[in-house]
Chains A and B, each alone.
Chain A
Amino acid sequence: MEKSCTLLIHFDKGTPAIANEIKEALEGNDVPAKVDAMKKAIMLLLNGETLPQLFITIVRYVLPSEDHTVQKLLLLYLEIIEKTDTKGRVLPEMILICQNLRNNLQHPNEYIRGVTLRFLCRLNETEIIEPLIPSVLQNLEHRHPFIRRNAILAVMSIYKLPQGEQLLVDAPEMIEKVLSTEQDASAKRNAFLMLFTCAQDRAINYLLTHVDRVSEWGELLQMVVLDLIRKVCRTNRSEKGKYIKIIISLLNAPSTAVIYECASTLVSLSSAPTAIRAAANTYCQLLLSQSDNNVKLIVLDRLNEIKSSHRDIMVDLIMDVLRALSSPNLDIQRKTLDIVLELITPRNINEVVLMLKKEVVKTQSGELEKNGEYRQMLIQAIHSCAIKFPEVASTVVHLLMDFLGDNNVPSAIDVVVFVREIIETNPKLRVSIITRLLDTFYQIRAARVCSCALWIVGEYCLSLSEVESGIATIKHCLGELPFYSVSEEGEGTDASKKTPQANSITVSSRRPAILADGTYATQSAASETAFSAPKVVQGSLASGNLRSLLLTGDFFLGAVVACTLTKLVLRLQEVQPSKVEANKATTQALLIIVSMLQLGQSPVLPHPIDNDSYDRIVLCIRLLCNTGDDIRKIWLQSCRQSFVKMLSEKQLQETEELKAKAQVSHAQPDDLIDFYHLKSRKGMSQLELEDEVQDDLKRATGEFVNDTDDANKLNRILQLTGFSDPVYAEAYVTVHHYDIVLDITVINRTKETLQNLCLELATMGDLKLVERPQNYTLAPESSKQIKANIKVSSTETGVIFGNIVYETSNVLERTVVVLNDIHIDIMDYISPAVCTDAAFRTMWAEFEWENKVAVNTVIQDEKVFLEHIIMSTNMKCLTPVSALDDECGFLAANLYAKSVFGEDALVNLSIEKQADGKLSGYIRIRSKTQGIALSLGDKITLKQKGSG
């Protein structure tokens, strides 16, 4: 076990203290100077210096000091100095401090006694502690509670030492006696804690004798009692019955911390519905009564845990949980909704939806900044409710459609997506939704919402009247045709002809602007006209939402309008008995489409129409002029079919995910089955008996190491020097989360003793060596294990390099053996992760670092190549499998991963199969930091060649 670290203090390297100065100050009589010097000495020690010469000075001049601060600093100093030699024996000079510690333990100042006792808690060396024991025991009966409190803890720590039971044979008895007479709450808690950790039977005995008074005990003591109960019950389930009553009585305790603890104890002890219900109720009460967001969130986590194991109980409490929505915090609201959504049953769906509706309405009235986001969340929640229970859709869909014109674009998009899904899955609602949609269409402001709404109109207007009113609505929203009049155009062109002169006049009248680089700036006249012209058009004709959007140059929307019109006209031709009417509608549609094209090519807009939209609009014209059955089928049926397919696929994916989730919790077929009652507890190692809490603690302190594959271990051995070098070294690299441990074996291959052998390591990249290297002496042909810790602070390919330096006895000069470089692989730090498409897009747009790698591979198949990249980069493919299904010679996919430091790594892969069968294209890597982009790029370049 490595040495533990008890304190860290930031050390400013700018003012290095010199050992001599410290020594002088310590020897003097000036107390403030002494305090200062002690502080400096401690800082130096923390920074890795060993300062062995200072110890004697401190023993001589600091030990006798009567100043309290000096004494306390002295204890800190003693806490952090090396008290043992390399073999773990206590250094002989340490005996010098014993006398001082004993004096401190008998000091008239109670605080000196207290802090000294506290220091003893952190001391592990039996040899130092042993002579102090009588004094420690004396302090158990001191009249000052501060001392007793710490004395009890000291006894506990001593008893817990490896030889503690011999040092303090009767400690549990003594503490039990102390406990029975103790009045101070803290001291009592400590005493009970001592019994709990060292002599559980006695603690139980005490608890059971005082069972009637548990509810009057102090909060701290009650917490330990609950801890004890949990532990006892875990090792000995049959005793559970005795304690449940205690827990129930504590549920009424005044302290919320105790109540919370009770609830979690109850959950861990029993799976009886009443107990779980009581716990869940308690959590719900805390959820409402506590105003702190942290508490609410953590309580929600606990409720979530209960939900996963006892869903039926939580279902009854759904309305209590929902009340947490009243908190203005988005995280809390989100968590609450997440929990609630999984608890919905046919019985409570109506209540829940009612509540959600109320909340939605509330967001309209209040003017909180987060309302938009919250509304979006609520809409999504209602959406998923409606999918699970289609019957509620009718009650909410109209309410939600009010939000189509919402200023908050994301929530409007959510609404329109919701409507799209409902209209398909709920055929009964189609008519009412279409009518409503056509009524509110003019309110829609956002282009994306518009296009989606247009699609709905195009697909689901079926009857004659609907189709007609659909066409009418679109026409209305486009406003009067043309988009700009000929005269305007003439003016426009005139203006564009004239403006160069006008502008040249203005430019000349103005003084030329001088740019930062010293050149004269000349503004192009064209750009000025481009800026001014649309303004005029917009100002004069700002009616109808579609029109204004089109006039800003959104021709994608134009294409959608054209398609929708085409679809509606095609359908009209089917449902309209009168050919004349149908033809009339066709011509009108053609007129609109053509004027859009004209607008696109006119110079009034800053950008002309893009090619994609142009093609699509032209296609619509052709179609309207020349209809055929095949095309009609594609436009009127296939679109709908593919939408249905998408929906069903989504559902399928969801059910599959659910299935996968359900499968995870099952045990493996070859897992050991643990029959608790058949297990003998005698022969079992402590480790097996260790309960979850301790595991949790161990994991937190980093003591817990999972056993890894031995085979895997061998793979990671790196040879650092050659076999014929005088010193052979190899390293085994373990990568933990935040650190890398190098276990280096050094073997002396010569027949001489190597002295002052030192392993010097240096790092490149975001790595930092934690400790200074030590010197060793290596006997002939012997070996030595050296451990080196390296701290990692970000994901980046790092390199560790170094030398082994040593002296031989007959040659005075130092010999150097250079080591092989150790490369730290980025793959150890990233793990596959999932994020939504939207999140991926925003991150893609935000991140500054891009690394573009050209595809150069022997792999011929797109999908095989994708899999190869996924395999070699340890990332997750976000693009659904279905999208990659068919052969088309193209492939685009998004990959995503997260590093242990929370950094995101995005990869986009776009490849095309060439005529000669080779793949070409690019892999783009984006990340927030340069390190990831670079090292991931290197990795891909290295690996993309593929197996061949």
Chain B
Amino acid sequence: MVVLAASVLSKSGKVLVSRQFVDMTRIRIEGLLAAFPKLVGTGKQHTYVETENVRYVYQPIEALYLLLVTNKQSNILEDLETLRLLSKLVPEYCYTLDEEGICKNAFELIFAFDEVICLGHKENVTVAQVKQYCEMESHEEKLHKLVLQSKINETKDIMKRKASEIDKSKIDKNKGDKGGFMSMGSGRIETSFTDMSISSSGSGFGSGSGLGVTTDVDSFSTKSKGRQPSSATAPPKGLGMQLGKSQKTNQFLESLKAEGELIVEDVQPRAGQSRVVATAPTDPITLTAEEKLNVTLKRDGGISNFDVQGTLSLQILNPEDAHIQVQVETGGNPGILFKTHPNMSKELFANENILGLKDPNRPFPTGPAGDVAGVGLLKWRMQSADESMVPLTINCWPSVSGNETYVSIEYEASAMFDLRNVVISVPLPALREAPNVNQIDGEWRYDSRNSVLEWSIVLIDNSNRSGSMEFVVPPADSSVFFPISVRFSATSLYSDLKVANIIPLKGGGAPPKFSQRANLITENYEVV
């Protein structure tokens, strides 16, 4: 089902335009097109020619032939459809349907052909759509240009204001002592402006420096992009035509079976092929407590943000086990605030630390093994400014010596946790080759595309609560190496939340088996 080429030939056999959609050599396509006029018979009432290897489907348009070259297995009905569409497009782009007209608009024709056939496959388009695609009128682009223009204007205003302020303060400072700091500030704003003007006169945005204005534009455009994810999940329509239900098909299948064809009635996809989950829970009840860390540390020490968010989720495999309550133990950490799901009985939790539904007759929702999320029961949050709560601190010291910058980094982990799979990513200036690592505890990897040096330590426990590395790069500003981001996981929690027991509400039998997991992961852990 492949269109090899779409071409326009004159009746005398001259190739005017030809667009190929699969790889083929020039000699081959020229040969095929040269053979065509000889193969076209006169007085035939059909418009296709087959040779040993290819099929030509054509349509005469005044003094021209519009021609599709396809392989012989190609679906003629589809090809005719394509040809029909192309034949409507040709007059749209060529005002006179003769050699001259085609040659004059050859490129426009090629662009239009491209919209109709993609890699040899027909696209589902109409003439109007093709015209629209070729015109390339984009609302978003106009909007973008408007925004860009207004930003530029705004920045100019700000710049003017700032400049006058600075001038003012300069005059003020000059009256008193010398203000080197301020003069530096003014210089910075000027550069930002020149940067801006360059990028606006150039090809557009996105390649500018990382200064204020451009980031603003970026954030705007991402917002507008993300406004409406049109590729939202389709609501599953379960009520489609059911296979194998109608009498006729059944008869057909039966007779096929009788003739020795093997028919598999219920086709189930082989599971597990594309599943992302590694381990599906096998216990009937699983409770997962997870805490996510959002930490921002300052590069010269101190915390600017420390935030832990935790969830406890419940997953039940079989509906029979769904009538239960969960008895939990909290670590008694006073900084932690717990919040239950609206459907849970608040009093029960406040008084007895038991998680149960308000309506004891309702079961918990159940889900299959593949469903990762489970049902959230409990959420908690902890914020702190206490430096001792931070599980891992990073110290980064870039120092310039001669023609090189030496960067030494050390980490220090608190004794609270054993950290696994620690990865510390240090941004580097754009480099030609990997940096020179002089000394390291653990392993390193250089990601050239993002120019990031990744320092990974598989496990931090009591044996290596602190460690360091040192690497050399060409001279660079120390700010380049920040923000450093860190990823790790641990199996103990800040909240020390534990599930003590599962209380079955119905049947009164032995408590069902359950498993619990605890997981601490980093969501956003940065040194800025």
Contact = CB atoms under 8 A, between A and B. Distances in A.
A142 interface: yes
Contact of A272 (B52, B138, B203, B261): B261
A146 B138 CA distance: 12
Contacts of B2: 697, 700
Contacts of B454: none
Interface string A326-360: 00011110000000000000000000000000000
Nearest to A299: B76
Contact of A245 (B7, B244, B255): B244
Contacts, number: 306
A712 interface: no
B267 interface: yes
Contact of B144 (A108, A121, A736): A108
A520 interface: no
Contacts of A24: none
Nearest to B258: A274
A295 B202 contact: no
Nearest to B145: A108
A793 B54 contact: no
Contact of A143 (B16, B69, B225): B225
B241 A701 contact: no
Interface string B233-264: 11001001111100001001101100111111
B35 A103 contact: no
Interface in B321-380: none
Contacts of B35: 737-738, 901
B133 A181 contact: no
A810 interface: no
Interface stretch (B87-95, B169-177, B269-277): B269-277
A7 B48 contact: no
Given A64-B203, A109-B136, A293-B45, A697 B22 contact: yes
B14 interface: yes
A261 B119 contact: no
Contacts of A274: 252, 255-256, 259, 261
Contacts of A111: 133, 136, 138
Interface string A1-37: 0111111111010000000000000000000000000
Interface string B196-207: 000000111011
B18 A201 contact: no
Contacts of A278: 252
A274 B110 CA distance: 46
Contact of B38 (A68, A256, A789, A902): A902
Given A10-B17, A181-B231, A702-B24, A240 B262 contact: yes
B46 A294 contact: yes
B269 to A, nearest CB: 4
Interface in A115-149: 115, 118, 121, 131, 134, 141-143, 145-146, 148-149
The 8 closest A-B pairs by CB, nearest first: A738-B31, A5-B26, A108-B144, A702-B28, A241-B262, A4-B23, A257-B77, A111-B136
A107 interface: yes
A702 B259 CA distance: 40
Nearest to A43: B106
Contacts of B253: 244-245, 248
Interface string A204-218: 111011011101101
Which of the listed residues B7, B17, B26, B240 has the most CB atoms from chain A within 10 Å of its own CB? B26
Contact of B138 (A109, A275, A329, A901): A109
Contacts of A275: 256, 261
Contacts of B255: 274
Given A72-B111, A193-B121, A274-B252, A701 B22 contact: yes
Interface in A178-217: 178, 180-186, 189-190, 193, 201-202, 204-206, 208-209, 211-213, 215-216
Given A245-B244, A274-B252, A331-B44, A141 B26 contact: no
Given A114-B133, A208-B268, 12 more contacts: A6-B20, A66-B204, A72-B111, A110-B140, A213-B237, A242-B267, A245-B265, A264-B73, A274-B259, A331-B46, A697-B73, A701-B22
A106 B71 CA distance: 36
Nearest to B48: A294
B122 interface: yes
A773 to B, nearest CB: 15
Contacts of B23: 4, 701
Interface string A899-911: 0011100000000
A699 interface: yes
Contacts of A68: 136
Given A64-B202, A76-B110, A901-B35, A153 B119 contact: yes
Which of the listed residues A5, A275, A701 has the most CB atoms from chain B within 10 Å of its own CB? A701
A388 interface: no
A805 interface: no
A150 B114 CA distance: 11
B278 interface: no
Contacts of A142: 225
Contacts of A903: 38
Contact of A2 (B25, B107, B241, B259): B25
B261 A240 contact: yes
Interface in B18-74: 18-20, 22-35, 38-39, 44-48, 52-54, 57, 69-73
Interface in A834-866: none
Interface of B: 1-2, 4, 7, 14-20, 22-35, 38-39, 44-48, 52-54, 57, 69-73, 75-78, 80-81, 99, 102-103, 106-107, 110-111, 114, 118-119, 121-125, 133, 136, 138, 140-141, 143-145, 202-204, 206-207, 221, 225, 227-234, 237, 240-244, 249, 252-253, 255-256, 259-265, 267-270, 273-274, 449
A296 B76 CA distance: 10
Contacts of A114: 133
A693 interface: yes
Nearest to A121: B119
A173 interface: yes
A82 interface: no
A243 to B, nearest CB: 8
A256 B111 contact: no
Contacts of A739: 27-28, 31
Contact of B78 (A4, A99, A223, A294): A223
A220 interface: yes
Contacts of A220: 121-122, 124
Contact of B230 (A109, A143, A330, A697): A143
Contacts of A115: 114
B19 A6 contact: yes
Contacts of A39: 107
A392 to B, nearest CB: 31
Nearest to A790: B27
Interface string A704-741: 00000000000000000000000000000000111100
Nearest to B227: A143
Contact of B228 (A63, A100, A143, A209): A143
Nearest to A255: B77
A5 B24 contact: yes
A44 to B, nearest CB: 14
A185 B256 CA distance: 33
Contacts of B232: 181, 183
A260 B74 CA distance: 11
A292 B7 CA distance: 22
Nearest to B73: A696
Contact of A294 (B47, B144, B263): B47
Contacts of A295: 76-77, 80
A791 B31 contact: yes
A153 B117 CA distance: 12
B71 to A, nearest CB: 4
A274 B255 CA distance: 7
Contact of B80 (A153, A178, A294, A737): A294
12 contacts: A4-B23, A5-B24, A9-B18, A180-B233, A183-B230, A189-B121, A216-B241, A264-B73, A297-B48, A298-B48, A693-B73, A696-B73
